[in-house]
Structure 1
Amino acid sequence: MAVKRFIRHLLALRSATRSHFPKSTLDAIEDAIRTVEASHHGEIRFVVETALDGNDLWRQCTPRERAIEVFSQQRVWNTELNNGILLYVLMADHAVEIVCDRGIAAREEAAIWQRICHDIEAAFSRGEFRVGAIEGIKALGKVLEQHYPGVSYANDLPNRPSIN
């Protein structure tokens, strides 16, 4: 186990995460999700975790592996058209991951998801958490609109971001 990573996660504070994502930012993220979902049949879920627990650190869980676990726990895979997307942030590792359900994953190149993650991480590194999250959601919305156009009436996943 990497000692630096363990210490970084141990010292990560939820209060710091909440200071980067205050209620006004969470409201803005929720509004952005609601707005972009109105133009397509896709679903977006936004989850932020402050740090990994001891078991995940001990088994050297990567941010990607944790994002896949959260994708399952949040039931993002359970959308009607298999077009759910998880936008996952792991604050202690300064990592952003996008996990897509099989419907949308089969229709789009992995490079687009990597670019969106990179753009969000760049905004976060400048301290622009609200801007980075909203611009990332808009970028995901554009991809979903290309592949699942039309007005969506179902809302399979909560629009409110989850902060843990």
Structure 2
Amino acid sequence: MLLEKEEIERLEKKTAAMERLSSAEFKLVFCKHAWLGIRRKAKQIFKKYRLNETDNRGCVLLLIVEKDREMLIYGDKAVNEKLGEGAWLPIRDAILAEFRQGEFELGLSIGLQMLTDQLAQHFPPLAQAKDEISNEIVFE
């Protein structure tokens, strides 16, 4: 496992804090393999955890495939319409730069902050915000 228990807890709290700054939702998922490709795996996970069912279609998945050392940031419909998939490249690169140094928690923390900075412009926080997606990090 790439993260210790304390790091997982801090990242879950960071996710909750970032979601208060935007009406977007975030989900971090680690899996061992993506046999059919990381994009197909992301689509499966998106449906499995019902990430495509948020009210504003503003969910973003950070998928880390441990064995293949791959990572994909995958946005729901409204996110991609407003930002486009190209918006994720600098964020992914910043996360992976920290991963290469063995700084997994730091990389994800930086990535969450960068995502929030991008998304808050298009998905401002709502007065009656509800947490539609669990902030628990998933390990499959």
Q: TM-score range by the shorter chain?
A: over 0.9
Distance 1:37 1:116 in 2: 17
SS in 2 for 1:106: helix
Residues 108-158 of structure 1, C-alpha deviations (whole Å, 9 max, x = no match): 032221221122112111100000011111111111111011246200000
Per the alignment, residue 101 of structure 1 pairs with 76
Q: Structure 1: which amino acid aligns with 2:138? A: S
Distance 1:31 1:76 in 2: 19
1:21 aligns with 2:3: yes
Alignment of structure 1 residues 24-63 onto 2, 5 Å? 24-52=6-34, 57=35, 61-63=36-38
The TM-score with structure 2 as length reference comes to 0.93
Alignment of structure 1 residues 1-164 onto 2, 5 Å? 17=1, 20-52=2-34, 57=35, 61-151=36-126, 153-164=129-140
Task: Return 5+ residue gaps in structure 2 as ranges.
Answer: none
Distance 2:83 2:33 in 1: 30
Q: Percent identity?
A: 22
Please tell me whether Structure 1 or Structure 2 has the larger radius of gyration of its CA atoms.
1
The TM-score with structure 1 as length reference comes to 0.80
Distance 1:21 1:94 in 2: 14
Structure 1 residue 64, shift from structure 2 partner: 1.7
Distance 1:111 1:21 in 2: 28
Q: Do the aligned residues in 2 keep the contact of 1:63 with 1:93 (CA within 8 Å)? A: no
Report the aligned-residue RMSD: 1.3
The structure with the largest helix share of the pair is 1
Distance 1:142 1:69 in 2: 27
Distance 2:130 2:3 in 1: 27
Structure 1 residue 50, shift from structure 2 partner: 2.1
Distance 1:114 1:74 in 2: 24
Aligned length: 139
